[in-house]
Amino acid sequence: MGLADYFWHGLLRRPYSLSKVIDIGNGDETLVLVHGLASKSEIWLPLVEVLNKNRYRIICYDLLGFGMSPKPESSSYSTKEHAKSIYHALRKDIGKDQKITLAGHSMGCIVSAYLAYNYEGLVEKIVLYQPPLLLSEMEKRSFHRKLYAYVAKKPPLFLNYIKFVNKLFKNRLENLQTATNNWTPIEKSIHNTILTQETVFELKHLLIPTHIIYGRMDFVVSKLDAKKLAEINKNIKLHYVYEMHDITKRSAKYLKALLEEL
């Protein structure tokens, strides 16, 4: 870290400026799309292509450490840090009083829920597509918790799996990052965002319309906690689509229809 970085981002804890990849549409409703782990903004293109640009202004930033955004080695890549960077980017782009509709995919759901819960008045409604929900850190027996912790220690395993699935399904995961020099943001995000999340608690207490969508063929995330949440918080609606852990043209049509109903 250079001296300027140390002073500005280290001592003053100012957030890094994110790369804004998508900013399209002239509608009155601002829709912010948050991508997931090891991904980038382009994963949302199937949805962006079919959305009504006269209804929405659609914005998507590459998360800190991913895509074209900065990848500082000193960053913790925590949920708070990811969310804070998005919040400050939004305030520059849309001002302080504009409310948004927020949609997250995978790890982006954790960041989105944090934004909705901790930045009061920012989010009007939220859509969470394939969120990797985990119970509190005290729950050590969760299969998915053990899986994420194991993967975080095995860069070659994770990266080779992405390459294999990408080849098998004809580049369906082409927007996932597989370069080894991207591993620090991936590893830290697994530990400091996915494994230390408070998302279940946050979703229990959200007072805004909340839609959770899971792929029936998605084995990357656990679906059990979402069922419990929908019973506890009546603001939560649970949906299923026949998809894996990605955003396809088919799932984009479903998401478009859902967003237009909100």
CB 104 within 8 A of CB 113: yes
pLDDT score for 5:
55
Running along the chain, 262 residues long, what does each successive block of 10 average in pLDDT?
Answer: 51 78 96 95 96 97 95 93 96 91 97 96 96 72 79 71 57 53 86 94 95 89 83 94 89 94 86
The pTM assigned to this predicted structure is 0.89
pLDDT score for 180:
52
Contacts of 25 (CB under 8 A, 6+ apart): 31, 51, 52, 53, 54, 55, 56, 57, 58
Set out the domains of the chain in order of their start, with CATH numbers: 19-261 (3.40.50.1820)
pLDDT score for 179:
52
